[in-house]
Every structure is written in structure tokens, then in C-alpha cells.
């Protein structure tokens, strides 16, 4: 990852670069309409990684009202920027953004055939909590991962 790279909140003028990045991935892509919606949505946080004026990756977090969990809805890294720690950096930033929004945990879904992403999540301490049959548009199974969750105060009984 180039030293001058930085993470920042996405802006409407990032839309063409976000769409170009999405175009490089098979199926289940975010559309221009979806990106515009999330950019304006107070319950979403879209962050981008940029270097030299070039968008190299992004993550999109969603916050459901009344939930202790944030959802990592999407994360993507430009294939030319892979292997430089950007995915780890984006994932760590997603965790920080979730905590800053008052969430105690982060959940995400991943295609079972996306071995690189599953390895990234597991290396970052996420645990697989569910199998999701035919979860994706093309019928591919998914896995749910999570990290964090309920905070149990001393002297209080944990649920369950």
C-alpha cells in the first residue's frame, strides 16, 4: 500500500470510481442507485481508500436502528492493489467505524467460494456463525461471520 494512501468518507464524486471497481467483480454488484442511496443514508457509512487520486477500495457499513450490531455490507479492493494489506486496513477501519457509531459487534456475509475473503475475516478474529444456503443471486452458498457482540456487565447474567 503506497505511503500516501488514506481512508476517508466517500463523496458523490467518487461514484464513477466505485462503479468501475464494482464492475470487476462477478454478480451481486452495487448499482449507481444503491451507492447514491448509501451516500445519503444516515444509517450507512461508505469509506474509501485512495492513493494518488485513485480509488483503491471501499467498505460499506449499515446500521440498523436498535441493533447492537453493524453490518459490513460490502468491501472491495482493486485487484491491482491486492496483497498490500489494504483489505486488512479497510476491515479494521470498518470495526472502528462500527464502534464509533456505538455498535458492539460487526457481522458480514461472504460467498463460500471467496476463500481469500474468508481467510481475511478469520485472520482478523471473525468467527463463522452460520451457513447460508443459496444466499447469493447466482445460488452460491454463503457464510455469516461476526466479531464482538453483547457486552455483559459484571454482576449481570448473560442471556442464553
In a domain, 153, yes or no: no
Task: Assess if residue 67 is contained within a domain.
Answer: yes
Domain-located, residue 1: no
Taking the C-alpha atoms of residue 75 and residue 31, their distance in angstroms, rounded to an integer, is: 14
Average pLDDT on 43-72 reads 96
- Residue 134, pLDDT score: 96
Closest CA to 92 of 53, 67, 123: 123
**Banded pLDDT at 4 (limits 50, 70, 90):** low
pLDDT of residue 20: 95
| pLDDT score, position 28 | 77
pLDDT tens track for 36-56:
999 999 999 999 999 999 999
Model confidence at 160: pLDDT above 50: no
CATH code for the domain in which residue 24 is found: 3.40.630.30
User: Which residue stretches of the chain are H helix?
Assistant: 15-23, 32-40, 86-100, 115-123
Residue 101 domain-assigned (yes or no): yes
String of b and e for 116-125 (b: at least 16 CB within 10 Å)?
A: ebbebbeebe
User: What is the pTM (predicted TM-score) of this model?
Assistant: 0.88
CA atoms of 28 and 119, how far apart (whole Å) = 20
Residue 64 lies in a domain: yes
Closest CA to 112 of 130, 90, 87: 130
Query: Is residue 123 included in any domain, yes or no?
Result: yes
Q: Do strands 69-77 and 105-111 pair parallel, antiparallel, or not at all (unpaired)?
A: parallel
Q: Is the pLDDT of residue 10 over 80?
A: yes
Whether the Cβ atoms of residue 50 and residue 13 lie closer than 8 Å to each other: no
Does residue 155 lie within any of the structural domains? no
Number of domains in the chain: 1
Instruction: Quote the distance between the C-alpha of residue 55 and its chain's center.
Output: 16
- Domain span holding position 95: 6-148
Residue 157 lies in a domain: no
Amino acid at each position: 500500500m503506497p505511503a500516501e494512501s488514506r481512508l476517508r468518507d466517500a463523496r458523490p464524486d467518487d461514484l464513477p470510481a466505485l462503479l468501475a471497481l464494482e464492475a470487476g467483480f462477478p454478480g451481486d454488484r452495487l448499482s449507481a442507485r444503491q451507492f447514491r442511496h448509501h451516500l445519503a443514508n444516515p444509517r450507512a457509512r461508505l469509506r474509501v481508500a485512495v492513493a494518488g487520486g485513485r480509488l483503491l477500495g471501499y467498505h460499506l457499513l449499515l446500521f440498523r436502528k436498535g441493533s447492537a450490531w453493524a453490518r459490513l455490507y460490502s468491501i472491495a479492493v482493486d485487484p491491482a492493489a491486492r496483497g498490500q494489506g489494504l483489505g486488512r486496513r479497510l476491515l479494521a477501519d470498518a470495526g472502528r467505524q462500527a464502534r464509533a457509531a456505538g455498535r458492539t459487534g460487526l457481522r458480514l456475509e461472504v460467498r463460500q467460494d471467496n476463500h481469500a475473503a474468508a481467510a481475511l475475516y478469520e485472520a482478523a478474529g471473525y468467527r463463522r456463525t452460520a451457513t447460508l444456503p443459496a444466499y447469493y443471486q447466482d445460488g452460491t452458498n454463503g457464510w455469516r461471520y461476526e466479531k464482538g457482540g453483547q457486552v455483559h456487565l459484571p454482576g449481570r447474567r448473560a442471556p442464553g
